[in-house]
Structure formats: C-alpha cells, structure tokens
Amino acid sequence: MTPLPLLSFLTLTPLVGAAVIAGLDPKHRLLARGLGLFFNLLAFGLAATLWANFNTASGEPQFVERYDWIPSVGVQYFLGIDGMGLLMVLLTSLIVPFGLLASWRVEENPRGFVSLLLFLPLNGLVSLYVISALFGLFQGVFHCRTDISYQCNRRIDTWQHMSLHV
C-alpha cells in the first residue's frame, strides 16, 4: 500500500470536477471552462507524479490500494497500475486538456460539455486502467461478448453458405 492513495485521488479528481462544474450557474461559462482546465491539469499532475515514482524494474502492479469493502461477500476496493496502464493514464490525462482547449469556443451549454469531458474520458478511462478487480465483471462481460460474437458469426456464416447454394 502506498502512504498516499494517488490512484484514488486520480480517479476521483475528474469526478469531483465534473460535479462542481455541473452545479454551476449556466451564466458562468468562462468559470466552467477554467475549472475544467484546472481539474484536467490537476489530473495530469497526479499522473505525472505516478510516472515519476514508478519503478520500471518491477513487473508487479504498483501504487496498490486494497481495502475490504464488503467482507461478507469478499468484495474489495482494489486499485493498482502496471506500466502499460500508467502509459495510457498519462496519455489520456495529457490529451483531454488539449481537447478542452480546442473546444474552448463551444457556446451551447459549455457547463455540460466540460463536465462530461471531465467525467467520460478522464474518469472513465482512468478508472478502467487502474481498477484491478471489480466482481470479475470485466472478465464476465468480455467472455459473454466473445461468446455472443462467436454465435453471431456462426449464424452469419451459415446464412451466407445457405444463400450461395440456393
């Protein structure tokens, strides 16, 4: 465990920023954009801190945070990041501020735009890269998706085969 829960801070920073911006008065367009850029750069700073403290010699997940969440079922709050995940987090936290700057002139509901820009790419992708275990959900979803895709492809192949011989 790390003394400072950097991964939790990195995951929650865009979420808090999106909530703050969504709660602003619609008249404060410039404030919404400025706060969006602030929270984006704060997330980038946290990602850069992870990058600076990352041990490249270790192949294990680093900055691990593990807490019992629902012990009776065996559910844990478990975050950790490996080298590829860290690279993706750093890249995401670097690109999103540029996206915000490129869309600075959006006039229609900038408050909603900026809060969704914080929430979806930053919070969503960063969470995806650092969550180590979530009820086995990802494994189950990908297995089901693969199975459904396989079944659909078998049916399409069968239909194509049948149409060729008609």
* Contact (Cβ atoms closer than 8 angstroms) between residue 46 and residue 13: yes
pLDDT digits (tens, 9 = 90+) for 116-140: 888 887 767 777 777 654 544 444 4
Q: Domain boundaries in the chain?
A: 6-135, 136-166
Q: Please tell me the distance from the alpha carbon of residue 140 to that of residue 149, in angstroms, as a whole number.
A: 14
Mean pLDDT of 30-57: 94
- Residues 89-118: tens digit of each pLDDT: 898 888 889 988 998 888 888 898 898 888
pLDDT at 146 over 60: no
Write down the pLDDT at residue 2: 44
Q: Are 31 and 88 in contact (CB under 8 A)?
A: no
Give the 3-state secondary structure of residue 109. Answer: coil
- What confidence score (pLDDT) does residue 132 get? 58
Are 30 and 22 in contact, with CB atoms under 8 Å apart?
no
